[in-house]
């Protein structure tokens, strides 16, 4: 990108300032050392990526975004002022809002959100003064079905070991009073089989 400046001395002439010169001038304005290595904007998409970068690299990435926005302007930029920066910030905010809307309305995200809201609903209504303990077991429906299928007997599956052997049959262990799943069940044979296996665990 190049920013054109119109000097007062020569009428009708323009002086083209190259990207590197603009970058160095901007670095001088914010009192940082210019970065000589290429900066990848994608490196700044995570908190860890941000933490691994120096302040000069972070400011350089911000300047790179600014220059990209400036180069996309259809009208000529005669000066960099607060109004120009505010307009660029507004464009970035709009892009972020659109991206967040797409994420929040995605079916997979809404499914995860529903699970966490359900868990919060349960926790909010537990009286922990009554010595209630909520334990969350991160296991998918498919993995649980596989656990039952690979075990020759219900008492040898992983869930039985977790609920009874590791807790109920262990001194100092805490017995499980209720098991709540966040699975969707239908009338298919695998679902009926899983419910049957779970009922055997509960009745053991």
Please answer whether residues 71 and 1 qualify as being in contact, where contact means their C-beta atoms are separated by less than 8 angstroms: yes
Statement: residue 66 has pLDDT above 60: yes
Distance separating alpha carbons of residues 112 and 115, to the nearest angstrom: 5
Residue 157 has a CB neighbour count (10 Å cut-off) of 21
Query: What is the model's pLDDT at position 189?
Result: 93
Name the more confident of 197 and 60: 197
Distance separating alpha carbons of residues 54 and 168, to the nearest angstrom: 53
Q: How many CA atoms lie within 13 A of 191 on its CB side?
A: 7
- Model-level pTM greater than 0.75? no
Helix axes 55-71, 19-30, angle to 10 degrees: 130
pLDDT tens digits, 1-23 = 433 444 444 444 443 444 556 67
pLDDT tens digits, 79-104 = 767 887 788 888 888 988 999 999 99
Tokens 């077991």, residue located:
137
pLDDT tens digits, 138-194 = 999 999 999 999 998 888 999 999 888 887 777 777 788 888 988 989 999 999 999
Domain ranges of the chain: 3-81, 127-203
């Amino acid at each position: 990108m190049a920013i054109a400046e119109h000097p007062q001395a020569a009428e009708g002439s323009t002086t083209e300032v190259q990207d590197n010169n603009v970058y160095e001038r901007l670095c001088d304005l914010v009192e940082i050392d210019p970065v000589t290595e290429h900066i990848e904007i994608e490196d700044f998409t995570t908190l860890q990526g941000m933490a691994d970068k120096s302040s000069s690299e972070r400011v350089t990435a911000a300047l790179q975004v600014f220059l990209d926005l400036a180069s996309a302007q259809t009208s000529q930029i005669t000066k960099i002022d607060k109004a120009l920066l505010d307009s660029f910030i507004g464009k970035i905010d709009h892009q972020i809002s659109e991206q967040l809307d797409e994420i929040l309305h995605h079916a997979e995200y809404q499914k995860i959100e529903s699970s966490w809201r359900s868990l919060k609903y349960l926790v909010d209504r537990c009286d922990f003064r009554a010595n209630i303990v909520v334990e969350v077991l991160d296991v998918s429906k498919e993995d649980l079905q596989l656990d039952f299928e690979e075990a020759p007997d219900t008492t040898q599956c992983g869930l039985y070991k977790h609920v009874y052997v590791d807790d109920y049959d262990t001194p100092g262990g805490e017995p499980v009073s209720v098991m709540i799943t966040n699975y969707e069940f239908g009338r298919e044979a695998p679902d009926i089989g899983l419910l049957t296996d779970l009922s055997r665990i509960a009745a053991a």
